[in-house]
Amino acid sequence: MCCGSKRGSEIECAAECQYYPLGTAAIDSFRKIDNQVVEKMTLLVARHLGDVAFREAVEAHARLAKAKDDEPGASLNNAVANVALLKMFHEPATAGKVVYDVLRAQGFPGLSNDERVLLKTLEGSLPTVIEVQRTVDDRFLEVVDMFEPDGHTEKLLDPALAGHGLPRFARLLVWLTRYPHFCRGNGGCLMIPDIMATDYVERIRKLAKAARLNDPRQYLLAHAAECQGWVDAMYRERMGGILRRSDIHQCVLVYDVKGDHREVLRILDSKPDFEPSATGTATKTGVRTYNWLRRGESRKLEDQMPEAFRSDDERGSVGTVGTIRLSSNELTVEAFSRQKMDFAKATVKDYFGSMLQLRRELVRDVGKEMAAELPKHDATPSPRRASGIDPETERQIMEQFFRQKYERFPDESVPMLGGLTPRQASKRPELRGKLVELMKLHMRGLDQEYRGRGIKISLDALLDELGLAELK
């Protein structure tokens, strides 16, 4: 047995050696030493910069990386880790030298051989975006560095992330350190939202190219804080734009009843479009409530609805137009889109004619309000949540739902594919990249939401059909 004074530095150790902390048989030992090295590295950087300069560097980094609604100090933990790596290896701190060079010249005082070996390996750390391919076990994940030219898979040691059950193809911004037999994330770790994960990676690529950098990771290194801040900023921009463009409006139409309200009531009760709600019987105030459904004549609205919001006769689901409340002198219609409101106005005129007269029309732009109050993206990886439904019942319902959904999916128009169907896009080589991203998006969502609860939705047949067997 070696004493540890030369392993990994002068002695080339086998991966299976139980005393070699960078091997595969001494993971617990590695994690202990790794934590010691990170702590000592931070203290050494603070000592060489001085407490005031170190604090100022951390605060400056945190300001650039800060999400809009972060509480004061919320970004400091990531900033401390990132500044320690930057000042230790990349940014001059003392007499024009990085701290690592100063320590090396001094013989790494106070560090054991194992700590020196780990610190030397940390020298090659770079910020990058990784994509999770699968969780191997309770300690390792299989990942791909999005900026590695050959796109090969690597084993990432991170029990915390492995325990969170991250979905396949989730993307994270990390400092990646490559050891002989596995890699490790250091510095801050931020989840990149699905809604802009592809755009984020492409933005870094384009900026690196504009800066004439062959490796996008060098751009991330030079702009570490800004790139971290973009995770929240791009999320807000994309989600806010979607909300502002969406037809999410609270619309209320208020009609005066002209004549006997019982005739209005008779029409409501005679039409299949209107269904008394659970509280639809007259209350003490004489108000009756109806759910306005997309059936009967109102079925015409179904074909006008965005595809994602259409109901499905095969599953027995019925969409809604809105809610109706009728008293002796007033009828109100409440709907949650302008499209539904316009349909309701025209239909009320057809059904009731002169019996109802529009008195007031209220429209509230809920989408715009939501965009203005959009909470910050929670970039911290978190465990899957439970649904609260009986597991077996949920499994049966969801497996049937997704089986039917993905039977139709190949022939449905998809905006991300320029309006083409996935089947059409699979025959267009120039659209293969977008089709891959589309399917990764679907698979991430399924993984994140359901597989952690024992619900297995296999898309293997669909992937084969679209010529994407490599994603299985």
- Looking at 6-20, 185-199, 416-430, which range is the least confident one? 6-20
Residues 103 and 188 in one domain: no
pLDDT over 70 (residue 255): yes
Residues 304 and 193 in one domain: no
Residues 310 and 323 in one domain: yes
| pLDDT attached to residue 157 | 92
- Looking at 33-47, 111-125, 380-394, which range is the least confident one? 380-394
Residues 132 and 229 in one domain: yes
pLDDT over 70 (residue 75): no
Per-residue pLDDT tens over the stretch 84-106? 999 999 988 777 889 999 999 99
Residues 284 and 361 in one domain: yes
| pLDDT attached to residue 25 | 83
How much of the chain, in percent, has pLDDT values that exceed 70?
A: 85
Considering 99, 123, 147, which residue would you say is the last residue of a domain? 123
* Residue 11 belongs to some domain of the structure: no
- Looking at 80-94, 312-326, 404-418, which range is the least confident one? 312-326
* Residue 378 belongs to some domain of the structure: no
Per-residue pLDDT tens over the stretch 110-149? 889 989 989 999 999 999 999 999 999 989 999 999 999 8
pLDDT bucket at 451, cuts 50 / 70 / 90: low
Label residue 302 exposed, middle or buried (CB < 10 Å: 0-12, 13-18, 19+).
middle
| pLDDT attached to residue 310 | 62
Label residue 170 exposed, middle or buried (CB < 10 Å: 0-12, 13-18, 19+).
buried
* Residue 382 belongs to some domain of the structure: no
pLDDT over 90 (residue 188): no
pLDDT bucket at 291, cuts 50 / 70 / 90: very high
Q: For residues 413-429, b (16+ Cβ closer than 10 Å) or e, as one string?
A: ebeebeebebebbbeee
Angle between helices 51-65 and 224-245 (to 10 degrees): 20
pLDDT higher at 264 or 70: 264
pLDDT over 50 (residue 456): yes
| pLDDT attached to residue 120 | 92
Residues 294 and 216 in one domain: no
Residues 113 and 177 in one domain: no
Residues 285 and 342 in one domain: yes
Residue 188: CATH number of its domain? 2.40.50.140
* Residue 274 belongs to some domain of the structure: yes
The tally of domains found in the chain comes to 4
Average of per-residue pLDDT across 392-402: 63
Average of per-residue pLDDT across 283-297: 84
* Residue 143 belongs to some domain of the structure: yes
Considering 218, 245, 272, which residue would you say is the last residue of a domain? 245
| pLDDT attached to residue 472 | 80
Average of per-residue pLDDT across 69-93: 76
Sign of torsion over alpha carbons 43, 44, 49, 50: positive
| pLDDT attached to residue 168 | 86
| pLDDT attached to residue 388 | 44
Residues 142 and 203 in one domain: yes
pLDDT bucket at 3, cuts 50 / 70 / 90: low
Q: What is the mean pLDDT of the chain?
A: 84
Residues 262 and 357 in one domain: yes
Considering 195, 220, 245, which residue would you say is the last residue of a domain? 245
- Structural domain for 57, as ranges: 27-123
pLDDT over 90 (residue 330): yes
* Residue 375 belongs to some domain of the structure: no
pLDDT higher at 279 or 429: 429
| pLDDT attached to residue 2 | 53
